[in-house]
Amino acid sequence: MSSTHSIYNRLENHENGKSFDINEINTYCHENHEPLIAKYDLSQGLDKANLADRARNMWRYKEVLPIKDSDYIISLNEGYTPIHHLLALQQKYDFMHLNMKDESHNPTGSFKARGLGMAVSKANELGIKEFCIPTAGNAGSALSAYCAKGGLKAHIFMPKQTPQVFQLDCKIMGANVTLVDGNISDAGAVMRKANKENQWFDVTTLKEPFRLEGKKTMGYEIAEQNQWQLPDVIIYPTGGGTGLIGIWKAFKEMLELGWIDHIPSRMVAVQTNGCNPIVQAFNQGLMSSTPYEDPAITIANGLRVPHAFGHKLILKTLKESNGIALSVSEHDILNGLTELSQKEGLFISPEGAAVWEAAKILKASEWIKRDDKVLLLNTGSAYKYAENLYSHFL
Ligand SMILES: *Cc1c(COP(=O)(O)O)cnc(C)c1O
296 domain residue, yes or no: yes
Three-state DSSP class for residue 95 = coil
Percentage of the chain beyond pLDDT 70 is: 100
Pairing state of beta strands 8-13 and 19-20?
antiparallel
Percentage of the chain beyond pLDDT 90 is: 98
pLDDT at res. 44: 85
pLDDT at res. 201: 98
- Pocket test of ligand 1: the residue of 81, 105, 138 to mutate, having most ligand atoms within 8 Å of its CB, is 138
What average pLDDT does the segment 81-88 reach?
98
Rounded to the nearest angstrom, the distance between the alpha carbon of 307 and the centre of ligand 1 is 13
| Average pLDDT, rounded, for the chain | 97
What average pLDDT does the segment 388-394 reach?
94
Pairing state of beta strands 153-159 and 130-134?
parallel
Rounded to the nearest angstrom, the distance between the alpha carbon of 324 and the centre of ligand 1 is 18
Which distant-in-sequence residues (6+ apart) come within 8 Å of 6 by Cβ?
40, 62, 63, 64, 65, 66, 67, 68
CATH number, domain of 228, equals: 3.40.50.1100
2 domain residue, yes or no: no
pLDDT at res. 321: 98
Neighbours of 93 (CB within 10 A): 17
What is the pTM for the complete model shown?
0.97
94 domain residue, yes or no: yes
Q: Which helix (H) or strand (E) holds 209?
A: none
Instruction: Identify each DSSP E strand in 214-283 by its residue range.
Output: 233-237, 266-272
- Over residues 105-132, the pLDDT tens digits come to 999 999 999 999 999 999 999 999 999 9
Residue 266 · residue 323 · CB < 8 Å: yes
**Which residue puts its alpha carbon closest to atom 2 of ligand 1?**
302
40 domain residue, yes or no: no
Rounded to the nearest angstrom, the distance between the alpha carbon of 153 and the centre of ligand 1 is 23
Q: At what angle do helices 138-150 and 164-172 cross, to 10 degrees?
A: 10
88 domain residue, yes or no: yes
Instruction: Identify each DSSP E strand in the chain by its residue range.
Output: 8-13, 19-20, 36-40, 83-85, 97-102, 130-134, 153-159, 176-180, 201-202, 233-237, 266-272, 324-328, 373-378
- Pocket test of ligand 1: the residue of 101, 104, 105, 110 to mutate, having most ligand atoms within 8 Å of its CB, is 110
Rounded to the nearest angstrom, the distance between the alpha carbon of 369 and the centre of ligand 1 is 27
152 domain residue, yes or no: no
Rounded to the nearest angstrom, the distance between the alpha carbon of 12 and the centre of ligand 1 is 24
Domain containing residue 238: 83-107+212-393
Residue 267 has pLDDT above 90, yes or no: yes
Which distant-in-sequence residues (6+ apart) come within 8 Å of 34 by Cβ?
13, 14, 15, 16, 28, 312
Rounded to the nearest angstrom, the distance between the alpha carbon of 308 and the centre of ligand 1 is 11
Residue 79 · residue 217 · CB < 8 Å: yes
Split at pLDDT 50, 70, 90, the class of 45 is confident
**Which residue puts its alpha carbon closest to atom 8 of ligand 1?**
240
Ligand 1: atom nearest CA of 380 is 13
Q: Which residues line ligand 1 (CB under 6 A)?
A: 110, 112, 138-139, 205, 237-243, 302, 349, 351, 379-380
Q: Which of 37, 202, 34, 203 is nearest to 117 (CA)?
A: 203
Q: How many domains does the chain have?
A: 1
Residue 108 · residue 137 · CB < 8 Å: no
What average pLDDT does the segment 261-272 reach?
98
183 domain residue, yes or no: no
What average pLDDT does the segment 216-227 reach?
98
Residue 178: burial class (beta carbons within 10 Å; 0-12, 13-18, 19+): middle
- Quote the CA–CA distance of 65 and 213 in Å, as a whole number: 7
Ligand 1: atom nearest CA of 237 is 10
Long-range contacts of 192-200, Cβ-Cβ distance < 8 Å, separation of 24 or more = 194/132, 194/155, 194/157, 195/132, 195/155, 199/130, 200/130, 200/131, 200/132, 200/153, 200/155
- Over residues 229-255, the pLDDT tens digits come to 999 999 999 999 999 999 999 999 999
197 domain residue, yes or no: no
Rounded to the nearest angstrom, the distance between the alpha carbon of 103 and the centre of ligand 1 is 11
pLDDT at res. 1: 84
